[in-house]
Structure 1
Amino acid sequence: MTVKKSPSGSTMLAWTPVAVMTVVAVVDLTAGPDVGLLPLVSLGPAFAGLVGGWRRTAVIGLVALLLCVGLGLYNGLFDRPRGYTAMASVAGVTGVGIAAAVMRSRRERELASVRSIAEAAQRVLLRPVPLTAGPLQAAVSYTSALAEARIGGDLYEVVASPHGVRVIVGDVQGKGLGAVETAARVLGAFREAAYDEKDLVRLGERLERSVARELEDEKFVTAILAEIGHDHRVVLLNYGHPAPMVVHRDGTADFPEPPAYALPLGLSAHGGPGPEPFPVPFVPGDQLLLYTDGVTEARDEEGGFYPLAERAHLLEEPDVHRALDALREDLVRHAAGPHHDDAAMLLLRYQGHDGAGATAEAATVADPAR
């Protein structure tokens, strides 16, 4: 059975100028010249300038002018200044409408250019993660708090290195271009150090030095590093970041906490204990969800936080990408409105086959826009 689609909003707006001029003409012919509706014909080009291009606006304006002349002659208005005033009104509104259409088209082109640049920046900064890395399947979801942005202050990366699969998820303090620039620096340092450093703590120290050199005014980056080898465990290093969620084969979930939380990246000058690596069992069938606080701090209409632990069952979907999509859709429904903070989620599923080795990355990648 074929379902008929209702007219789209853009189609209705496109026909608005014609509809307005038709209504004005019918009412004018019905009510007579004494009502004085003729200047309202200028509403046609006025609406055309808001929704159409300058050529279409000019055509609508010409039609409105001809209609004005026709109605003026029919009503005998050109014996008085009234008819000429109506024509001047239509011509003036048409000119303004054409100018508005030109300016709107220019802004739309600029916006399209900015969006294409943002998409290119996303591909460079937040590259799609490997679909598989060693024994793991990976999926990622990213939602920016800025309505027109594609990237923000949250960051993630998966690197299949000679030392195991290494992962980072982080959250830069603040928003806007400054946060994006900081995220780019952190990711650049991680991508290089993940291959070079044999020890996860040394990798973290290298990130700390890189961030401390660049950040000023008490800015910082919370982050969590993870390393998955072939010993059925994941080693975590936490820099003031929300604890990850481990979903076990039996459906239970827990949030492994570090022995002591270290200060976020960029605050080492303030002293305090350094991060302590701590291993967590991670066996075939388990899943590891790394996320930023934009997930757990998303509020519903009554102010309640998102209950991530209660949503672990959504990750039971056999396809890892559909599982993360289901969780993201549930998060959007819970928030019931625009996000007030960036929200990133990275899901790793242990498939239990490690014959390929952790150094092999898949040629295909996962789309971060899921």
Structure 2
Amino acid sequence: MDTRERMVGERAPWRPGNGLVAIPLAAIALIAVVDILSPPDVHLGPLLVVAPAFTAAFAGPRLTGLLGLLSVLTLVSIGLARGVIGTENLIVQISSLVALSLLLVVFCQVRERHEGEMTRVRFVSEATQRVLLPPLPEEAGPLRLASVYRSAEAGTTVGGDLYALARTSSSTRLIIGDVRGKGLVTLGATAMLTGAFRAAAHRQSALPELVAYLEGSVCWGLSEFTEGEGDIGERFVTALILDIPDDEPVLHLITCGHPPPLLLNPRRGAVPLQVDRPAPPLGLGSLSDTRYDAVTFPFQAGDLLLLYTDGLIEARDHHGAFYPLPERAARWSGQAPARFLERLWADLVDHIGSTPDDDIALIAVQRDAA
């Protein structure tokens, strides 16, 4: 369903749950018939409260109020049929049923208001993600790509992980990162870093110059967003920055404190692209004399490259065992990027036994054999 269709005030004309209204209607009819036919000392009228109570579980305040009114009218009809309409007992029963029906209507109104607020929150969250982290294109030059992003925060789609892509005249540049922090600081740093990358990555400057520019942007941005909030050493962004030429079977990589990417091939299996001397995370480079050197790795036609954040490799099963990424990912190294990420995510959820409790960003990149 499109996000716009989930906004408050736009409801589908029919809900599958509305078919359940036959159950309380049948209950009202059954209780009425049995009560009228029962001996004088047997009274089933109070059971009519079941109808509005059951309706409140799946319907809104209008339908719940309607079933409550129908229950009250049924109880009055039972009193007339049995000749006890003016008795104190029946008056108490009617009053109690009216009060309970009104309470159920109020409950439904409060619930609908809360659901409306949650719908608006989800809509804003999804719109924010589309601005900060739009899905990567399926193709970029000779590359085929797929991406997955899952936020650990309940009810949101934006977290502390980030990724972005930019094209130059002869290559594709990618960044994937993890902002250390939480709350608005994380979103501000994500917006700042992805914006800086998109603004500078399309230029023809060398990869080390691009990373140095991002380091300066992060240092400035984090000091602006988090001024007076703890030590600077606690604010940084781990990142991988890649440049993949269109006409060479290689990739150039700079690692800034981020987990190494995984190169997959049906013949060679899964190989982590380890860098001997990785640079410090972005935001910490100014604390020392940091030099950014790009490392070149083979990336041939048919190879699949997996970029990920640490939420993937730090996921544990109920025994405390970490997710064995190289072993599992090698099983699907021959798949297309989108299918590969589908299989990997399903296997991760199966390993954990539930959805992950940390932000996770995944990018699969494959060089087209053509």
Provide TM-score, normalisation by structure 2. 0.85
Secondary structure of residue in 2 paired with 1:181: helix
How far is the alpha carbon of 1:205 from its aligned partner?
1.3
Pick aligned residue for 1:234 from 251, 264, 279? 251
Determine helix, strand or coil for the equivalent of 1:114.
helix
Q: Does 1:289 align with 2:289?
A: no
In the alignment, is the contact (CA less than 8 A) between 2:24 and 2:55 conserved in 1?
A: yes
**Aligned counterpart for 2:187 among listed residues 180, 190, 193:** 180
Match of 2:11 in 1: none
Q: Is this contact kept in 2: 1:251–1:313, CA < 8 A?
A: no
Identity of matched residues, %: 37
Higher alpha-carbon deviation: 17-26 or 91-100: 17-26
Report the AA paired with residue 225 of structure 1.
I
Residues 1:54 and 2:70 are matched in the alignment: no
| Cα 1:95–1:240 shift into 2, 3 Å | same
Q: Which residue of 2 aligns with 1:258?
A: 275
2:302 maps to amino acid:
G
* Superposition deviation, residue 151 in structure 1: 2.1
Q: Is 2:293 aligned against 1:276?
A: yes
CA distance in 1 between partners of 2:341 and 2:248 (Å): 26
Asked whether 1:347 is paired with 2:334, we answer no
Within a 5 Å distance, the mapping from 1:46-125 to structure 2 comes to 46-125=53-132
Q: Deviations over 1:88-124 (max 9, x none)?
A: 1121122222222222222222222222222222221
Find out whether 1:160 has 2:167 as its counterpart: yes
SS in 1 for 2:125: helix
3-state secondary structure, aligned to 2:129: helix
| Change in CA separation of 1:26 and 1:300 when aligned onto 2, cut-off 3 Å | farther
1:292, distance to aligned residue in structure 2 (A):
0.5
From 181, 193, 196, give the equivalent of 1:189: 196
CA shift for structure 1 position 170: 0.6
Query: Residue type matched to 2:128 in 1?
Result: A
User: Are the equivalent residues in 2 in contact too, given 1:48–1:57 (CA < 8 A)?
Assistant: yes
User: Greater CA deviation, 161-170 or 234-243?
Assistant: 161-170
- Asked whether 1:150 is paired with 2:150, we answer no
- 8 Å contact from structure 2 (residues 18, 59) kept in 1: no
What is the alpha-carbon distance in structure 2 between the residues aligned to residue 301 and residue 102 of structure 1?
40
CA drift at 1:87: 0.9
The 2-side partners of 1:73 and 1:190 are apart by 78
Q: Please give the alpha-carbon distance, in whole angstroms, between the structure 2 residues aligned to 1:118 and 1:106.
A: 18
Report the more deviating stretch, 55-64 or 68-77.
68-77
Residue 171 of structure 1, CA deviation: 0.9
Equivalent-residue separation in structure 2 for 1:280 and 1:33 (angstroms)? 90
Shifted more, 174-183 versus 78-87: the winner is 174-183
* Alignment counterpart, residue 241 of structure 2, candidates 213, 222, 225: 225
Partner of 1:17: 24
Deviation for aligned residue 1:25: 4.0
Per the TM alignment, residue 265 of structure 1 is displaced from its structure 2 partner at its CA by 1.3
TM superposition shift of 1:204: 0.9
Q: Secondary structure at the match of 2:85?
A: helix
Partner in structure 1 of residue 10 of structure 2: none
Q: Assess if the C-alpha contact under 8 Å between 2:269 and 2:333 holds in 1.
A: no
- Partners in 2 of 1:351 and 1:17 — Cα distance? 60
RMSD: 2.4
* Structure 2 residue 142 is the aligned partner of structure 1 residue 135: yes
Q: Does structure 1 retain, via aligned residues, the 8 Å contact 2:260–2:273?
A: yes
Question: Residue 83 and residue 181 in structure 1: after superposition, are their counterparts in 2 closer, same or farther (change >3 A)?
Answer: same
Query: Is the alpha carbon distance of 1:187 and 1:33 closer, same or farther for their aligned partners in structure 2, counting shifts above 3 Å?
Result: farther
Counterparts of 1:219 and 1:37, CA distance in 2: 67
Moved more, 318-327 or 79-88: 318-327
Q: How much has 1:278 moved relative to structure 2?
A: 1.2
Shift of 1:35: 4.7
Pairs aligned (count): 346
Task: Structure 2: give runs of 5+ residues left out of the alignment.
Answer: 1-14
Alpha-carbon distance in structure 2 between the residues aligned to 1:282 and 1:130: 20
Query: 3-state DSSP class of the match of 2:41?
Result: helix
Q: Give SS of 1:150's match.
A: coil
Q: CA deviation at 1:259?
A: 1.8
Report the CA distance shift for 1:268/1:25 in structure 2 as closer, same or farther (over 3 A). Answer: farther
Q: Is the Cα contact below 8 Å between 1:223 and 1:240 reproduced in 2?
A: yes
The correspondence for 1:45, drawn from 45, 49, 52, is 52
User: Aligned partners of 2:72, 2:241: CA distance in 1, in Å?
Assistant: 69
Deviation at 1:235, TM superposition (A): 1.1
Corresponding residue of 1:324: 341
Counterpart of 2:176?
Answer: 169
Contact 1:294–1:341 (Cα < 8 Å) also in 2: yes
Quick check: 2:250–2:297 contact (8 Å CA) kept in 1?
A: yes
Greater relative contact order (CA < 8 Å, ≥ 6 in sequence): 1
Secondary structure class of the residue paired with 2:239? strand
Query: Which residue in the other structure is 1:365 paired with?
Result: none
Instruction: Give the whole-Å Cα distance in 2 for the aligned partners of 1:132 and 1:18.
Output: 56
**Mapped partners of 1:221, 1:75: distance in 2:** 77
CA positional deviation for 1:308: 0.9
Q: Kindly provide the amino acid, as one letter, of the partner of residue 194 in structure 1.
A: A
